[in-house]
Amino acid sequence: MIVGRDSDWISEVEALTHGRGVDFAIDGIGGGRLRETIACVRVDGTVGSIGQVAGPIPDFSVADFAPRRAIRFARPSVMAFAADPDVYRLAGEEVFAMIQRGISVSPKEAYPLTEAAAALCALENGQGTGAKVLTP
């Protein structure tokens, strides 16, 4: 497992996949991280760009994909997805069906609502893994 913002995660992915790269990578950070994410994907793999907390998505050309040739790039939008009530309702029903089947991920850390600032600081500083949940 690769943990930490300062990890050389491109090299670690290369080592873990024996130079092959991953099949699918989701970049939720944006900015310069998108290029790093692209560098981790195998030939004919897929990159999903869903965030830009580190800054706007940089301009790039198809030539930027040349070292990994033939990768797929997707920029899905949760807002566009949520705009279709029928699709959104079906997706929600599937989430609840998964939970009923026992497929779920429990949050690793819960914070009282009064400690929301501490939870935010932990997120911003990359402390821990998984969701941070605020409880009333």
Domains of the chain in start order, with CATH, are 9-78 (3.40.50.720), 106-136 (no CATH)
| The pLDDT of residue 1 is above 70 | no
The owner of tokens 């500083």 is 125
Q: What is the pLDDT of residue 61?
A: 78
d(CA 50, CA 33): 12
d(CA 66, CA 62): 7
Would you say the pTM of this structure is higher than 0.95?
Answer: no
Bridge partners of 46?
A: 24, 72
Q: Tell me the pLDDT band of 70, cut-offs 50, 70 and 90.
A: confident
Where does 1-136 show beta strands of DSSP type E? 22-27, 41-49, 72-74, 109-112, 132-135
Q: Report the length, in residues, of the chain.
A: 136
